[in-house]
Amino acid sequence: MTGGADPGPSRSGVVVHLDDPEPAKHAGVVTNVANLLADLDDGSPVELVVHGPAYTAVLRDAPEAGRIGDLLARGVIVAVCANTLRGTGTSEDQLLPGVTVVPAGVGELVRRQREGWAYLRP
């Protein structure tokens, strides 16, 4: 859990920010990411950073678990904040398989922007 999530080869991508507690917002953001992948269709890295009250979106029993699993299978990096997990008493084994834990969600967002990634907050 050091540094940020590894996007593979050095290439600017798109980082998507999710910190809203509402399941309807989670569903909308997942749809936005799927639409982004379809529209870009160029292999650009995409990362969904989840922190704060939105952490429930990446739990195994979350309403959007299947759709987030599909995004992971399509190569989207889904990163959740370790500070949030610690603060909510959530263990990593409660997360969807493939979700990456980063030290701080806000730090991950800043790192990606400093690397030249586009920032989206749907």
Alpha-carbon distance values, 63 to 59, 86, 105 (Å): 9, 22, 22
d(CA 87, CA 28): 25
Q: Judge whether 30 lies within some domain.
A: yes
Residue 7 is assigned to a structural domain of this protein: no
Provide the domain count of the chain.
1
Q: What is the pLDDT of residue 7?
A: 53
Does residue 4 form part of some domain?
no
Give the angle 26-102-5 at the CA atoms, nearest 5°. Answer: 90
* Predicted TM-score (pTM) of this structure: 0.91
Positions in the chain short of pLDDT 50 = 1-2
Q: What is the domain range of residue 83? A: 14-120
CATH of the domain at 45: 3.40.1260.10
